[in-house]
Amino acid sequence: MNPFSSGTRLRDMIRAIRACKTAAEERAVVRKECAAIRAAISENDQDYRHRNLAKLMFIHMLGYPTHFGQMECLKLIASSGFPEKRIGYLGLMLLLDERQEVLMLVTNSLKQDLNHSNQYIIGLALCALGNICSAEMARDLAPEVERLLQFRDPNIRKKAALCSIRIIKKVPDLAENFINPAASLLREKHHGVLITGVQLCTDLCKVSSEALEYFREKCTDGLVKTLRDMANSPYAPEYDVAGITDPFLHIRLLKLMRILGQGDADASDCMNDILAQVATKIESNKNAGNAILYECVGTIMGIEDNGGLRVLAVNILGRFLSNRDNNIRYVALNMLMKAMTVDSQAVQRHRATILECVKDSDASIRKKALDLVYLLVNESNVKPLTKDLIEYLETSDQDFKGVLTDKICSLVEKFSPEKIWYIDQMLKVLSEAGNFVKDEVWHALIVVISNASDLHGYSVRALYRAFQTSTEQESLVRVAVWCIGEYGDMLINNIGMLDIEEPITVTYSDAVDAVEVAIKRHTSDITTKAMALIALLKLSSRFPSCSERIKDIILQNKQSFVLELQQRSIEFNCILQKHQNIRAALVERMPVLDEATFSGRRAGSLPTSVSTSTGTGHSLPNGIAKPAAAPVTDLLDLSSDDAPAPSSSGVDFLQDLLGVDLSPASAPQSTSRPPKGSADVLLDLLSIGASPPAQSNSSASDMLSSIQDNTAPLANLNGLLSLSPLSANATSPASPAPVMDLLDGFGSSPQKKAENGPAYPSLVAYESSSLRMSFNFSKQPGNPQTTLIQATFTNLSPNVYNDFLFQAAVPKFLQLHLDSASSNILPANGSISQSMKVTNSQHGKKSLVMRIRIAYKINDKDVLEEGQVNNFPRDL
Amino acid sequence: MIHFVLLISRQGKVRLTKWYSPYSQKERTKVIRELSGLILTRGPKLCNFVEWRGLRVVYKRYASLYFCMCIDEDDNELEILEIIHHYVEVLDRYFGSVCELDLIYNFHKAYFILDELLLAGELQESGKKTVARLVSAQDSLVETAKEQASSISNIIAQATK
């Protein structure tokens, strides 16, 4: 051994590490080696630098930190010998990535090596640059790489070509410098250069339309010829794979042709013959051949339409689909998915086979097939396909059920021809895989049931039956409990029987039994139990004969450890005992849930859920907020997400819900906005959960979170109920509200007229020396998100404005519909009006905002006025 | 393009990693852990593709080693299988019926070969002989450098005697 050597050889270190029996031993060996390497680094040991770096790379691969070796890479690269540089560049690529600052230090060495006299050193530098270069390095070194595209040795040219790909991906602006040299690479004979040249052209086309046009113009014929020569070439041992000459080059040529042919009929025409030849001649018994066929089919589908070729392509896919090899079937499904956009009829023909693939034993294939089936479904075939999928749900793997359930639910919702079918299918899914059904899906089901007044009876009976056979599916239990609570009487009396139904006999106590089962199930979570409690409360008024028993069940939850349930049980009990007179009204059937609002919310739920950190996670149609997100729920089963909360008719609306006829027919409306506190009082009044003062503004109950900003109607109610001791609370927004007392003081209060109202003051949205624009606001009842704005433009000058045009732009969470103006001529000192409709998807969270532009002509001279309107009333 | 290449043994040990897209060290560890869980558990008769984070991983098992390459959605999976096989054949020629131990003790050689085959996540050379020639040419450069160095150190050693 060399007397200067320190430490062990690489091979010995690897052997020592492999000999370790435990992870701890391995760590010890690595620690020792690392210490030795660090020592060598600090001594600046030159002889063993490359060996140390090699060791470090191995240690790095095992997952240990090796950042202290980064500078060693740079030193090795900067040294003059080839062996040092070779290891140095390898270390650079392995230990560093493009985001590390250290990398900047290597730019200069790279530049020198790219100009080195030894071509292998140039090769090393190109390789490192191609694998890790950053945008800055790309800019600095692009001229060198460009020059090397014409280097005498083909092996450098091919490396330079791939390096250029990295450069133009990092800095697309540099693309135009590479177009000409890339085109000349296409004329090469050397396979490596040709492959990389074609690849470079492909990537150039992706970043630059100029390049695409250029290659389409100049190179299409050449490429077709190259491919033909390749396809007809005799046996070439160096490039032969399973009897085909260079499948890699075949595939790259086909890929580039796809890009050139896309959207250009002439170029596509030019390729037809060779594509047909490839598609028919290539042997499909080996993977290499299939890879080419697969690419060829993709190209045929991608370029401009040629009927004959498309038929050929779809036939190949059909053959693939019936292949025994899973890989081939997988790519067939993948390609059929792309073909859907081109020729959905042809894909539909393979429906049966695809459906079989959904049941394959291979998860990748199942997933792909399911995605494809999802695309295949349309109005005409939704019924049989859904039937198949639901049948398969029974036998599928547990881990596949989630995806499958998602897709079925989404299909059923999207294409359901009638409500009864929708309800039937959802019921099957719920009974089969209710635990996999997402919250918003069963919420949607409840909304649909609520809207189908003729199916209330049918639904509740079907759910009751399903519930009898399977109590293990959480979301089935929830929906069933909700429906029994709402429509329990229809269950008992067989109201609204359909012809297809068999009558069932359910007694009052059977129905209560069902809810009791739900509440006592061990697996029921708090949401289900809370829903069951509400259902019981509702049943208590619907089934007077069972009311004692119901009271018992409710009381059992008084001892619940969950605050929410305990509180509910105590409060409901209080209602049952002390408030017989209002109970019936309190637990009336819910008003029909508004489908449009619900689906709107759902569609917008992604962005909003991000912004509402304190809000409830999901919208719940029955007013039960998720326990973790919001402990408060509302007694009245009212949730603003689904129930319309109109501001103009807010009074009547809330009154209806309470069923308390305390107010005069129309309450006078005030112009002043009541303080937030009143909303909180009500919140606490209506919802039974405790709302701590800290939460007062965003406090949990969904119902109020959206009404909250329309505080006017709520204040109204405050007045209506005239809870005089509370008016003190009402002035202090954060004061805690005495929850239980409220109910006690409920019945006897005299009433007092409160002056308030939801009318919004009109507003001067824009004013200049020559023009004033004012807005008047109104709301449609039942649609709090939408504001009608009447804009009035007043000409303040003595000139006539011709070609008057008002334009407005709003941010994404708003939707704007602009009607045409009453006239496009604004007379001197006169006015015109224009109405518009703004829908605020973030209603209650964000205020309206609008950017406006007004253009008109005075004496044929264009005038443009622009501005932004920020002073909208807050709760629009 | 190929985003990364992984060689994982059947026991989940990493034998080679090559990253063509930027992944931080932390992400790299996570990716390796995720993918070995995903791939090593798949049965022998299943297809060689796994969908993963919107990308696709093509893998193939040779003896005790899994060769994995991660590609874009619209790349040709079947071709990647050929590229993997291409790499294995070149390794086989270089080492003479390659086995896992060769790749452990000569991991840097495996990297050098891969660097002649792939660059910037794209295939660089389809000819096996060309690759072999280039690698051995560079190996011999290293050998000559070593001989020179040792002869110099001998001269120095003798001179200082």
Residue A716: which pLDDT band, with cuts at 50, 70 and 90? Answer: very low
Instruction: Please answer yes or no on whether B14 and A294 come within 8 Å at the CB atom.
Output: no
Distance CA A740, CA A571 (A): 8
Residues of A in contact with B138 (CB under 8 A): 82, 86, 120
CA B65 → CA A143, A653, B106, distances in Å?
Answer: 41, 69, 15
pLDDT at A602: 66
Q: Is-contact A181 A188, C-beta < 8 A?
A: no
User: Residue A567: which residues within 8 A CB-CB, separation 6 or more?
Assistant: A688, A689, A690
Check whether A804 has a pLDDT greater than 50: yes
Residue of A47, A61, A258 to mutate, interface with B, max B Cβ within 10 Å: A61
Residue of chain B whose alpha carbon sits nearest to that of A157: B124
The phi-psi region of residue A675 (left if phi > 0; otherwise alpha if psi is between -120 and 50; otherwise beta) is beta
Residue of B31, B80, B123, B148 to mutate, interface with A, max A Cβ within 10 Å: B123
Query: Rounded to 5 degrees, what are φ and ψ at A857?
Result: -125, 130
Give the number of beta-carbon pairs within 8 Å between A and B: 160
Q: Is-contact A95 A128, C-beta < 8 A?
A: no
Query: Rounded to 5 degrees, what are φ and ψ at A792?
Result: -120, 125
More confident: A598 or A232: A232
More confident: A741 or A473: A473
A616 to chain B, closest Cα gap in Å = 28
Instruction: Please answer yes or no on whether B145 and A81 come within 8 Å at the CB atom.
Output: yes
Instruction: Please answer yes or no on whether A159 and B81 come within 8 Å at the CB atom.
Output: no
Instruction: Please answer yes or no on whether A165 and B77 come within 8 Å at the CB atom.
Output: no
Residue A192 in tokens = 């490596």
Comparing C-alpha atoms, which of A350, A356, A355 is closest to residue A336? A350
Distance CA A151, CA A166 (A): 19
Residues of A in contact with B24 (CB under 8 A): 97, 99
B65 to chain A, closest Cα gap in Å = 16
| Greatest mean pLDDT range, A731-740, A754-763, B51-60 | B51-60
Residue A875 in tokens = 């709760």
At A578-613, the pLDDT tens digits run 877 777 777 777 777 777 777 776 665 444 333 333
Mean pLDDT of chain A: 77
Q: Shortest CB distance from A239 goes to which of B15, B126, B153?
A: B126
At A488-536, the pLDDT tens digits run 888 877 777 777 777 777 888 888 888 888 888 777 788 888 888 888 8
Mean predicted confidence (pLDDT) in A399-405: 83
Residue A407: which pLDDT band, with cuts at 50, 70 and 90? Answer: confident
pLDDT at B76: 92
Q: Is A243 on the interface with B (CB under 8 A)?
A: no
Query: Rounded to 5 degrees, what are φ and ψ at A574?
Result: -60, -40
Residue A653: which pLDDT band, with cuts at 50, 70 and 90? Answer: very low
At A46-76, the pLDDT tens digits run 778 888 889 999 999 888 888 888 888 888 8
Residue of B3, B5, B79, B112 to mutate, interface with A, max A Cβ within 10 Å: B79
Q: Is A254 on the interface with B (CB under 8 A)?
A: no
pLDDT at A723: 37
Q: Is-contact A432 A393, C-beta < 8 A?
A: yes
A293 to chain B, closest Cα gap in Å = 10
Residue A672: which pLDDT band, with cuts at 50, 70 and 90? Answer: very low
A617 to chain B, closest Cα gap in Å = 25
Q: Is A57 on the interface with B (CB under 8 A)?
A: yes
The number of beta carbons lying within 10 Å of the beta carbon of residue A727 is 16
Instruction: Please answer yes or no on whether B77 and A330 come within 8 Å at the CB atom.
Output: yes
Residue of A46, A131, A149 to mutate, interface with B, max B Cβ within 10 Å: A131
Residues of A in contact with B153 (CB under 8 A): 2
Residue of A94, A148, A317 to mutate, interface with B, max B Cβ within 10 Å: A94
At A143-194, the pLDDT tens digits run 999 999 999 999 999 999 999 999 999 999 999 899 999 999 988 889 999 9
Check whether A745 has a pLDDT greater than 50: no
pLDDT at A604: 56
Distance CA A166, CA A138 (A): 8
pLDDT at A807: 86
Q: Shortest CB distance from A247 goes to which of B51, B82, B129?
A: B82
Q: Is A81 on the interface with B (CB under 8 A)?
A: yes
Residue of chain A whose alpha carbon sits nearest to that of B116: A127
A405 to chain B, closest Cα gap in Å = 19
pLDDT at A603: 65
Residues of B in contact with A238 (CB under 8 A): 127-130
A19 to chain B, closest Cα gap in Å = 13
Check whether A651 has a pLDDT greater than 50: no
Check whether A9 has a pLDDT greater than 70: yes
Segment (H or E) for A373: helix A363-376
Mean predicted confidence (pLDDT) in A331-335: 89
Q: Shortest CB distance from A83 goes to which of B48, B126, B145?
A: B145
DSSP A838: E
Residue of chain A whose alpha carbon sits nearest to that of B28: A63
CA B73 → CA A295, A498, A817, A853, B117, distances in Å?
Answer: 13, 50, 39, 44, 22
Distance CA A385, CA A393 (A): 12
Q: Looking at the DSSP assignment, which residues form a beta bridge with residue A806? A: A854
At A76-99, the pLDDT tens digits run 899 888 988 999 999 999 888 766
Mean predicted confidence (pLDDT) in A565-576: 86
Query: Rounded to 5 degrees, what are φ and ψ at A493?
Result: -95, 10
pLDDT at A687: 42
Instruction: Please answer yes or no on whether B130 and A367 come within 8 Å at the CB atom.
Output: no
Distance CA A697, CA A683 (A): 11
Residue A321: which pLDDT band, with cuts at 50, 70 and 90? Answer: confident
More confident: A742 or A40: A40
At A122-132, the pLDDT tens digits run 999 999 999 98
Residues of A in contact with B78 (CB under 8 A): 287, 290-291, 294, 327-328, 331
DSSP per-residue letters across B78-102? HHHHHHHHHHHHHHHHHHTS--HHH
Residues of A in contact with B25 (CB under 8 A): 65
Residue A690: which pLDDT band, with cuts at 50, 70 and 90? Answer: very low
- Portion of chain A with pLDDT greater than 70, in percent: 81
Residue of chain B whose alpha carbon sits nearest to that of A130: B120
Q: Is A98 on the interface with B (CB under 8 A)?
A: yes
Instruction: Please answer yes or no on whether B47 and A327 come within 8 Å at the CB atom.
Output: yes
Q: Is A191 on the interface with B (CB under 8 A)?
A: yes
pLDDT at A98: 65
Instruction: Please answer yes or no on whether A131 and B20 come within 8 Å at the CB atom.
Output: yes
Mean pLDDT by groups of 10 residues along chain B of 161 residues: 94 92 89 92 87 91 93 92 94 92 92 94 92 92 87 82 69
DSSP per-residue letters across A517-574? HHHH-SS--HHHHHHHHHHHHHHHHH-GGGHHHHHHHHHHGGG-SSHHHHHHHHHHHH
pLDDT at A758: 55
Residue of A66, A68, A155, A238 to mutate, interface with B, max B Cβ within 10 Å: A155
Q: Looking at the DSSP assignment, which residues form a beta bridge with residue A834? A: A791
At A545-561, the pLDDT tens digits run 887 888 888 888 888 88
Residues of B in contact with A330 (CB under 8 A): 47, 49, 77
Q: Looking at the DSSP assignment, which residues form a beta bridge with residue B50? A: B57
pLDDT at A722: 38
Q: Is-contact B67 B35, C-beta < 8 A?
A: no
Q: Which ipTM did the prediction report?
A: 0.94
More confident: A106 or A691: A106
Q: Is A64 on the interface with B (CB under 8 A)?
A: no
pLDDT at A163: 94
Q: Is A256 on the interface with B (CB under 8 A)?
A: no
Amino acid at A107: T
Q: Shortest CB distance from B141 goes to which of A18, A82, A99?
A: A82
Check whether A25 has a pLDDT greater than 70: yes
| Greatest mean pLDDT range, A247-261, A592-606, A675-689 | A247-261
pLDDT at A124: 93
Residue of chain B whose alpha carbon sits nearest to that of A293: B78
pLDDT at A204: 93
The number of beta carbons lying within 10 Å of the beta carbon of residue A394 is 11
Instruction: Please answer yes or no on whether A291 and B22 come within 8 Å at the CB atom.
Output: no
Q: Is A447 on the interface with B (CB under 8 A)?
A: no
Residue of B20, B57, B122, B142 to mutate, interface with A, max A Cβ within 10 Å: B122
Residue of chain A whose alpha carbon sits nearest to that of B56: A364
Cβ-in-10-Å burial (0-12, 13-18, 19+) of A665 comes to exposed
Residues of A in contact with B111 (CB under 8 A): 90, 94
